[in-house]
């Protein structure tokens, strides 16, 4: 089943394909005809502008918000030359911080993918009292300022924990904090896809003699795999850059619990901005690579609709 997709033609933008006659409710036109007769040249120019305008607007916005800052980051990283860049990224603290961050983020993304799938399953397929509340609560980590999340986690899992677990200063503590902030991604990316799944396919498989486990493994999970991977990718990307929620519970010990974002912050505070940019570039590059691989995997495992 493909993601729910909207093609440009459906939007009814001038210059796109007009809706085929009789294809449903009247599509609303986006531009209004002026009361006087349109000048042909002006109208044609207007259509061309709209055809370029849409993508141009998107690219401009993307550039201003994402690409320009990234370009500035890369420029800053290499402002001391290749030698300075190499020294900054091979410094033992940087290597240790990057290894720690990438390792823990990958593990958390993997664990939360499974947990997110299970939670989405329960929310979609089961009915119980308080389901709406549970569903709303899942999005809470999005709304909570990360430093508040960090304080809460320290109070819950730190030395004064009411459960008598002390995760402060440990990597498990970091993992718990990251799991908390990335869970909504894993749940919300799977939930709509699961809800849209056609029950007929499962029923057909069951009527042909497939066991529950076979239905699960051969019919349902493959359909959900792209969504699960999407959630994992988002969770990984968020975990890699997380700072506020882990900075208190981690203890920030170099080589043990200092994550990349913390080391980058320390560098930036010590007037070593090019070095901070250098480590950031490496982090962003690796995160980008992982996201590209996940995107490829999603397309590769996309189950086309055959029914």
Partner 1 sequence: MQTTTPHLSAPGDAPSRTRLPSRRIAAVGALALSALALTALPAGAQTGGTVNLVAYSTPKPAYSVLATDFAKTKTGAGVTVSPSFGPSGTQATSVVNGLPADLVNFSLEPDMAKVVKAGLVSSSWDKGSTKGMVTDSIVSFVVRPGNPKHITTWADLVKSGVQVITPNVFSSGSAKWNIMAAYGAEIEQGKTPAQAQLYLSKLLHNAVAQPSSASAALQTFLSGQGDVLLDYEDDALYAKSKGEPVDIITPPQTILIQNPIAVTKTASPAAKAFLAYLLSPAGQTVWGQQGYRPVLPSVAAKFKFPRPKTLFTIDHLGGWTSVNTKFFDPQTGIVAKVEQSLGVSTASG
Give me the DSSP letters along 215-274. Answer: IIIIIIHHHHHHHHHHHHHHHHHHHHH--TTTHHHHTT-TTTT--HHHHHHHHHHTT-HH
Least Å distance, CB 25 to partner 1, is 24
Tell me whether residue 88 or residue 290 sits nearer to partner 1 (CB atom).
88
Please tell me the distance from the alpha carbon of residue 136 to that of residue 53, in angstroms, as a whole number. Answer: 38
Can you spell out the DSSP letters for 44-70?
A: HHHHHHHHHHHHHHHHHHHIIIIIHHH
| 124-140 CB burial, b ≥16 within 10 A, e <16 | beeeeeeeeeebeebee
Q: How many residues bind partner 1 (CB under 8 A)?
A: 36
230 versus 248: smaller Cβ distance to partner 1? 248
Looking at the Cβ atoms of 223 and 257, the one nearer to partner 1 is 257
Asked if 262 touches partner 1 (CB under 8 A), the answer is yes
Choices 124-132, 188-196, 224-232, 247-255 (CB under 8 A): range interacting with partner 1: 247-255
Task: Tell me, rounded to whole angstroms, the distance of Cα 226 from its chain centroid.
Answer: 13
Residue 132 in contact with partner 1, rule: CB under 8 A: no
Please report, in angstroms and rounded to a whole number, the separation of the first and last CA atoms in the chain. 10
Residues 157-176 that bind partner 1 (CB under 8 A): 158-160, 168-169
Q: Which is nearer to partner 1, 112 or 262 (CB)?
A: 262
From 30-38, 64-72, 211-219, 222-230, give the range in contact with partner 1 by CB under 8 A: 30-38
Q: How open is the CA angle 99-104-105, to the nearest 5 degrees?
A: 100
Instruction: Report the alpha-carbon distance of residue 76 to residue 56 in Å, rounded.
Output: 27
The site map against partner 1 for 72-101 (x = CB under 8 A) is ---------------xx--xxx--x-----
Using CB under 8 A, which residues numbered 185 to 244 contact partner 1?
none
215 or 248, CB closer to partner 1? 248
Binding region for partner 1 (CB under 8 A) out of 114-122, 132-140, 176-184, 271-279: 271-279
């Amino acid at each position: 089943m493909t993601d729910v997709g909207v093609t440009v033609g459906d939007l009814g933008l001038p210059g796109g394909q007009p809706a085929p006659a009789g294809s449903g409710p009247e599509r609303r036109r986006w531009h209004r005809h002026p009361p006087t007769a349109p000048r042909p040249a002006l109208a044609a120019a207007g259509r061309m502008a709209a055809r370029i305008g849409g993508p141009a607007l998107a690219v401009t916005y993307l550039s201003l918000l994402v690409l320009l800052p990234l370009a500035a980051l890369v420029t800053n990283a290499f402002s001391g030359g290749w030698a300075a860049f190499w020294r900054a990224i091979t410094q033992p603290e940087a290597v240790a911080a990057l290894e720690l961050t990438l390792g823990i983020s990958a593990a958390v993304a993997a664990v939360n993918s499974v947990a997110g799938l299970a939670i989405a399953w329960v929310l979609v397929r089961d009915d119980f009292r308080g389901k709406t509340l549970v569903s709303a609560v899942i999005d809470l980590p999005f709304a909570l300022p990360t430093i508040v999340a960090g304080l809460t986690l320290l109070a819950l899992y730190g030395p004064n924990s009411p459960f008598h677990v002390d995760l402060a200063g440990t990597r498990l503590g970091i993992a718990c904090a990251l799991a908390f902030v990335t869970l909504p991604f894993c749940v919300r990316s799977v939930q709509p896809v699961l809800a849209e799944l056609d029950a007929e396919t499962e029923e057909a498989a069951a009527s042909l003699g497939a066991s529950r486990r076979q239905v699960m493994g051969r019919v349902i999970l493959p359909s959900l795999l792209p969504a699960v991977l999407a959630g994992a990718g988002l969770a990984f990307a968020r975990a890699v850059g997380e700072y506020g929620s882990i900075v208190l519970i981690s203890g920030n010990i170099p080589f043990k619990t200092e994550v990349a974002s913390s080391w980058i912050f320390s560098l930036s505070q010590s007037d070593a901005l090019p070095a901070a940019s250098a480590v950031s570039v490496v982090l962003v590059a690796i995160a980008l690579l992982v996201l590209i691989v996940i995107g490829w995997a999603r397309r590769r495992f996309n189950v086309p609709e055959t029914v």
